[in-house]
Amino acid sequence: MQPGRRRQIRSNIRSENTVAKGVLKILVALIVAIYVVSVINALLSYRIERWTGIYAGKYFEYSGVINIQTQYSTGTATYFQIEKMCDSHSLDFAIFTDVNSIRPMDKGYSHRYGMTLVVPAIEIVSKDKHERFLVIGDSIPILPGNGVSIDSAVNYAVSKRDLVFLAQPITQSVFSNVVTDKITGMELYNFDQAWRRSLTFFQINKFLGAYSVYGFNTKALNYLLAYPNRSMKYFDQLNQRQKAVGIGSIGANNNTSIGKRSGWHFPNYESLLPLVHTVIVTKVPFNAVYQHDRRILIEALKNGNDYVAFSGLEHGRGFLFTARSDTNEVVMGDSLRLWGDAVLNVIVPDTDNVEAQVVRDGKVIATYNDKSDINLPIRDPGQYRVQVFQKRTLLPFFNKRKFPWILSNPIYIFK
């Protein structure tokens, strides 16, 4: 080969190596930039501390957490440890749902810890873990296994008039297999399931950002919150066939440890308890007598007199959704006969960077920005619910991203 030809080949190789190194540097810089932006955005997903109370008129509101596991099943903390945390967060109730374990119910953990109403329940799970139901009630449920199918366990709970909620509803096999006409309702949101599903190629940066900040600011979990599109679509479809009650859960099992050197579990109980609440709305107040308050709680969940609040962003207490027709007024979860026309009333407890939407039969029919008292006249029957979003300004384009804040149960309007 001629010397000139060899020199040309070496020059081309050097040029190609230079280009490859340049591309690699750009790629590394881009990855670092995305990571840094995600860390900053996790900090910008802050919690608003609202100290002034909101008066709900003739209604009383009580907020709590649902779907907590302990050492009796898949959790790592004891009842006492979690009860203490719940009381420190001023939770009105906590519903424990140990997986396929009735031991807490047998041992009589139904009591108050401080001001927190402690309700032991159960999560029944099929052998393949694809079908999950929360069973809340007075009877001791039967467990699947040893010749007892998941359907038999659900049927038994229904026969005892326990509340049965479809858990982790975005599992496709549950959508297709479960007999929905037997259940009370479904989880609209399960944080444990939601953040695990965010571990995708296009979402992993959000997780890494939240996890990096989490060690010194647990409110970074807000960055992982997202509107549950599939669950809400299924919920709307289900409510057009039958009444279904929506609840929110944290799925607190604390079994996921990321980074052994860090020494902390992600996420831990302490950070989950303020994150997602179910808030009941009732005309009868708690009186600190366990059985009395428990009946109010169960009745409200049975009727759907509740809403889901993503309290990690800001406490939802003070939200109210009612409907009036003629002289009758009902609250979310109730039915209302339409006499000519009706008026929907929505009270939003904060208006700064807040968007409220009224949804009828799964379609948004009205949107309101930064408005606290909403009155919407209606003439058509249907299932009306409300969803409220909070906005946070995030990088890199300083655009406002909407985080779900409040998801109400429907009011059923009929002629």
Span 367-389, mean pLDDT? 97
Residue range 154-186, pLDDT digits in tens: 999 999 999 999 998 766 455 545 556 678 999
- CATH number of the domain encompassing residue 312: 3.20.20.140
pTM of the model: 0.92
Q: Read off the tokens for 249.
A: 């859960």
Q: In this predicted structure, what is the pLDDT of residue 56?
A: 65
Residue 246 has pLDDT above 90, yes or no: yes
Name 347's bridge partners.
320, 373
Please answer whether residues 308 and 276 qualify as being in contact, where contact means their C-beta atoms are separated by less than 8 angstroms.
yes
Residues 330 and 336: their CA atoms lie apart, in Å, by 7
DSSP 8-state secondary structure symbol assigned to residue 75:
-
Residue range 195-243, pLDDT digits in tens: 988 788 888 999 999 999 998 899 999 999 999 999 999 999 999 989 9
Span 271-299, mean pLDDT? 96
Residue range 298-356, pLDDT digits in tens: 999 999 999 999 999 999 989 999 999 988 999 999 999 998 889 999 999 999 999 99
- Let me know if residue 302 belongs to a domain: yes
Count Cα atoms within 13 angstroms, Cβ side, for 13. Answer: 6
Between these two residues, 405 and 54, which has the higher pLDDT value? 405
- Let me know if residue 9 belongs to a domain: no
Q: What's the total number of domains in the chain? A: 1
Residue 103 domain boundaries: 60-318
Residue range 13-52, pLDDT digits in tens: 666 677 777 788 889 899 999 999 999 999 999 999 876 6
Q: In this predicted structure, what is the pLDDT of residue 360?
A: 98
- Let me know if residue 124 belongs to a domain: yes
